[in-house]
Structure 1
C-alpha cells in the first residue's frame, strides 16, 4: 500500500510542477543542455534504484525521473530546430517509431531474460543503467541548434569594447547584469508570445475539443499503465506466469501498427473524427471495466493490449487533427500545453483516487473509477458528434493567423 500511496504519486506531482519551468529553461538554453540533463537524470534514477532502499529512496528516484519526463519537450523541440521544415513529417515518424520499437524490444528482451534465462530484476536494472548511460554519451555529440523554436534568434547579448585592466572588475559586474537583464527580457517575450499563441490556437471550439481529448486521454493512459502492474499482482499474487513485460511489448507493437494504419485510412475525418473518438473511447472504457471485474490474468492481459492499441490509435487521430490546424512553429507549444493540462488533471485524479485517506480505495476500485472516467469522456464526444453532418457546414478553420505562415 505504501507503493500505491507514497511512491507512485511522487512522479505525478513532480511532473506537473516541473513541466513549465523546464519548458521555459529549454528554450533559453537552446535544448541541448536540457537533453544532456535528461540523460543524467535517467542514469541517476537507475543508480538510486540499484543502490538505494526504502520508501524515501524510491520517492527520490521517481522525483529525478520526473525531471527526465519533463525534459521530453526539449528532445522533441530540438529535432525540429536542426532539420528543415520539409522533413518534419518524416523525422517525426522516425522518432515515434524508434520510441515504440525501443519500448517493444525492451519489454520482449526483459521477458525472455526473466522467463527463459532466470535473470533477476536487479540484473535487468543493471542492463537498463548501461543502456541509458550509452544514451547519455550520445547527447554530448549532438550539434547545438542556432535558433529557438519559439523565438527566432538568440536573446540579445550586448557586447562592448574590451575593458582595460583597471576596470575589469566593474566591467565584468556590469556585463553580468546586462546578460541577466537580456535573459529576463527573453523570458518575458517568450511568455507573451506563448499567451498570444495560446489564445489564437484555442479559439477554435473543434480544435479545443481535440485538445481536451489529448489531455484527458493522456491523463487516463498514464494512470492505467502506471498502476496496472499492481492490478495484476492482485489478480495473481504469486505471479507464476510473469508475462507482464511481454504483454507490454505486444501492446506497444499493436499500438504502433494501429498508429500506422490510421495514417492510411481514407475517411472524411472532419465529419467522423469526433464520433470515432467517442465510440472507440467507449471500447476503452469497456476493456477497463472487464479488467476490473475479471479474476483471469489472461483476460486482463488481453484487455490491457486492447487498451493500449486503442489509445495510441485515438491519440494519433487527435494529433493530426490538431496539427493540420496549426503552423508548424506552434506544434510544440500546443502539444506542450496539452501535456501540461493532462499532467495537472492526472495530479488531481491521483490526489482524489489514491491519496484521499477517507476513501482508502482498493486497486480494483481504482480501475472502476478509471473505466468510469473514460466512459464519461466517451459520452462527451458521442453527444457532441450525435449529428456529424452538421459539421460539414461549420467545421473549424485553422487557428486565426496561425496556419499558413511559417
Structure 2
C-alpha cells in the first residue's frame, strides 16, 4: 500500500472518531429535558450563539497556529475540546457550566481546519482530490454510524438520551488518543517549508557562516516569506472573478447551512414537543448517507460548470429549492415533514458544495486550498455571527424558532434568486458579445 494511502487512512480514522457523537441528534432534547431542564428560549438565545461567536474569534488564530505548530497539536486540541465539552455535559448541571461547554465546543469547531489541511503537507499535489474525498467520506461515515448507533440503542432500550453522552465521551477520548499517535510534521505549507536556505550575506569573507546572526535572520526571513506566500496565494485566488463567484456562494450558503444545522432541533421540538425527538438519530443517519451518495454522484458528473447555463443555473435553482423547503418547514406542524426538509436541504447543500469546492480548487494554486478553505470559512462565520446576533441571540430581535426559519428560508430564496439573475445576465451578455463579434 502506498504511503499516502496509509496516511489518508490514519487521518481519516481520526475524522471518523471525532464525528462519532451519538448524542448530537438529541442535544436539544437533552438540554431542555428533565436532566438539564433548561428553557428552550434560553437554549436559543443564551447557549447556542456562544459557539458561533467563539468559532469566529478562534478561527483566524487557529489557522495561523495550525501551520506554525505543524498541525498535529491543533488536531489534538480539537479532540481535547470535544472530551472536555462532553465531560461538562455529563457531570455539570448549571447554566454557567453549559455556557463554558459551548466555548469548548466552538473551539473544537474552529480547530477542524487542522484536520482538513494536515494531509496536504504529506502527500503530492496529484493526490489532493483523492485525499480530500477520503477525509470527507470518513467524517460523513462517522456521522452516519453515530446517528445509527444512537437510534439503535434507544430503540432497544439499552441507553436513554442522557446515557448517550457517555458513548460520545468515549468516542472523543478515542479520537484524542488517536490524534496523539498521528505522525508529526517536519514541514508545513507556509511557516515551515522545506526550502529554507542560508542567505549569501550570512557568509563571512573567510567563507565561514556568521553563527551569531544566522538564526535571527533565518527566523525573520522565514516569517516574512510565510506572510508573503500567504498574501500571494490570497491575491492570486481573490483577484480571479470566477473564484470570487464560487467562493461567494460557498461562504453565504455555508453561513445559512450552519445556522439551520444549529437550530433545527429547536424547530423539531416546537413542532412535536420535547418527548417526540425519538427518531432524530435515524434521520441523521439517513441524511448523512443520502448526502454522501448525492455528493459522490455529482462529484463523478462530467460537466462544464464554468458555463452559466450550468453552474450558475445549478446554484440558483437548488438554492432556491432549499429556501422553499425551509419556508415550508417553518409553517409545518408535522415532524415527518420537518425530517423530510432536513434530509433534502442537507443533500442539496452537499451536492452544491461538491461542485463549488472542485471549481474553486481548479482555479487556484494547488497548495493554497487550505488557505482558501480557511478564508471562506472565516467569511461564513462572520456572516453567521451577524445573523445569529440579529435574529436569535440576546441583544438582537430575539425571534422565536419558527420566525427564525422564515428568515433562513427567505435568506436562501434571495441567494437562489441572486444566482438565477446572474445566470440570466451572463447568458444575455455572452449572446450580446457573440452578436457584436459577428457584426
> Could you say whether these structures have the same fold, taking a TM-score greater than 0.5 normalized by the shorter chain as the test?
yes
TM-score, scaled relative to structure 2: 0.81
Listed as ranges, the gaps of 5+ residues in structure 1 are 159-174, 395-406
Quote the residue 2:82 is aligned against.
42
Count of matched residue positions in the alignment of Structure 1 and Structure 2: 379
Q: Match for residue 252 of structure 2? A: 216
1:352 is matched with which residue: 372, 382, 390? 390
For structure 2, list consecutive stretches of 5 or more residues without a partner in the other structure.
1-40, 199-210, 433-439
Match of residue 375, structure 1, among 387, 402, 413: 413
Q: Does 1:235 align with 2:282?
A: no
More divergent stretch after superposition (143-152 vs 245-254): 143-152
Residues 390 and 398, structure 2, Cα contact 8 Å, conserved in 1: no
CA root-mean-square deviation: 2.5
Are 1:148 and 2:184 matched, yes or no?
A: no
Alignment match, 2:302: 266
Separation of aligned partners in 1, 2:236 and 2:330: 41
Q: 1:117 aligns with which of 157, 165, 184?
A: 157
- Offset at residue 58 of structure 1 (A): 1.1
Alignment of 1:180-329 (within 5 A): 186-240=222-276, 242-271=278-307, 272-329=310-367
Post-superposition offset of 1:185: 5.6
Q: Is the 8 A contact 2:45 2:394 kept in 1?
A: no
CA 1:355–1:188: 2 relative to 1, 3 Å: farther
Once the two structures are superposed, residues 265-307 of structure 1 have per-residue CA deviations (whole angstroms, 9 ceiling, x without a partner) of: 2323111111110000010001101100110111111011000
Give, in whole Å, the separation in 2 of the partners of 1:63 and 1:178.
Answer: 42
| Distance in 1 separating the partners of 2:313 and 2:259 | 24
Distance 1:155 1:37 in 2: 28
Residue 339 (structure 1) shift: 0.3
Greater shift in the superposed pair: 148-157 or 100-109: 148-157
Match of 1:61 among 77, 101, 104: 101
Equivalent-residue separation in structure 1 for 2:250 and 2:288 (angstroms) = 18
- CA contact 2:390–2:396 (8 Å) conserved in 1: no
Q: Closer, same or farther in 2 for the Cα pair 1:231/1:118, shift >3 Å?
A: farther
Alpha-carbon offset, residue 69 of structure 1: 1.4
